[in-house]
Amino acid sequence: MILPEKHPTIKAVPEAGSGPHEVRNRGTALTPGWFEDVAVNLSAAERRAATLATRRSVKKAWQAAWLVRAITCIDLTTLAGDDTAGRVRRLCAKAKKPLSDELLTALGLEEERITTGAVCVYPTMVPPAVKALEGSGVPVASVATGFPAGLTPLPQRLAEIRYAVEAGAAEIDIVITREYVLTQNWPALYDEVRAMREACGPAHLKAILATGDIATLRNVYRASMVAMQAGADFIKTSTGKEAVNAVLPVGLTMVRAIRDYGALSGEIVGFKPAGGMRTAKDALSWLILMKEELGTAWTMPDRFRLGASSMLGDIERQLEHYATGRYSASYRHALA
């Protein structure tokens, strides 16, 4: 076997029982005292983020194992205006089998079940995705609530959630009203996310904060706390449509909010960076952040997701280079 059977910090594939829906955050009452007086030092956050990849070196077999883990955490996504049922079916086929049989054999993983963390689509694409993924164990996630701007009236946003859940979505990626963060209207933000959580029913709620739109790391921390108090099961950086999407200083701020919220409430919340990540090196940097700040449990798909479909192709190329010593052409690793 090329990949290590055991690794002191991370295994090649998730353990049994670490599926995507192990975590559920019950939420708390709105408690401004947990976040209103917290300051975030921008320069310190940037310094810490800049040293993450240099402080921990992951090489050779260990790097391959981390990259396989990254695959299991990817939300394979298509959110284009020209999406079709056929494109979604092809994406689902890739989610069920992200690595070729030849590469799995070369890595010594032919007996392992490797899939992506989920497939994420628009609500109208949920039915073909559910059908294509039936029996695979890969959940369907749906964006909702007027994605990406979130500026449609709340009743319609809640109806969109209920439509996606009734169609079979197991996870809902909602967008918040950024105005509530920019004006510090925390009761309105709390009530909005709480209503969305209730509309999700059994489906998990991932709250997209659109961090590129809310100006400061202090706002990022506060919005993270309010979303978690309202019951968000995951907090997510971005829609992928903002000018600035997932960057490590923002991720650092959000995962420390998760850590603080857990210490205060006893609840577990997952994290999803999304947008702007394209390479295997990016995947490693985010995994290192989770390992360093929250521990190995937050490198598992029930607590960590990567919203970066294009990253998968580069991960495949890096794994193939590790196994064969040669880089393959990128066209050999199409997503759909």
Is 10 inside a domain boundary? no
Q: State the Cα torsion 168-169-170-172 to the nearest 10°.
A: -150
Sheet of 171-175: strand order equals 75-77, 118-121, 140-143, 171-175, 204-208, 234-236, 270-272
pLDDT in tens, 88-140: 999 999 999 999 999 999 999 999 999 999 999 999 999 999 999 999 999 99
Q: Is residue 178 part of a domain?
A: yes
Quick count: other Cβ atoms within 10 Å of Cβ 47?
11
Q: Which residues are catalytic?
A: 173, 236, 272
* Mean pLDDT along residues 56-75: 92
User: pLDDT tier at 244 (50, 70, 90 boundaries)?
Assistant: confident
- Per-residue pLDDT for 11 more than 70? no
Task: Please report which confidence band the pLDDT of residue 148 belongs to, taking 50, 70 and 90 as the band edges.
Answer: very high
In a domain, 14, yes or no: no
Number of domains composing the chain:
1
What pLDDT sits at residue 301? Answer: 96
Confidence class for position 65, pLDDT limits 50, 70, 90: very high
Strands 270-272 and 234-236 turn out to be parallel
Given a cut of 60, whether residue 160 has pLDDT beyond it is yes
Q: Is residue 5 part of a domain?
A: no
Please check the confidence at residue 35 and state whether its pLDDT lies above 90: yes
Q: What is the DSSP letter of 56?
A: S
In the DSSP assignment, the letter for residue 79 is: -
With respect to residue 224, please indicate whether it lies within any of the assigned structural domains.
yes
Indicate if the pLDDT at residue 253 is higher than 80.
Answer: yes
> Residue 42 belongs to a domain with what CATH number?
3.20.20.70
Give the tens place of pLDDT for each residue, 296-313. 999 999 999 999 888 999
pLDDT of residue 328: 75
Look at residue 4 and tell me whether its pLDDT is greater than 80.
Answer: no
Tell me, yes or no, whether 25 lies in a domain. Answer: no
Domain assignment of residue 179, given as a range: 32-330
Answer yes or no: is 92 within a domain. yes
Q: How many CB atoms lie within 10 A of CB 5?
A: 9
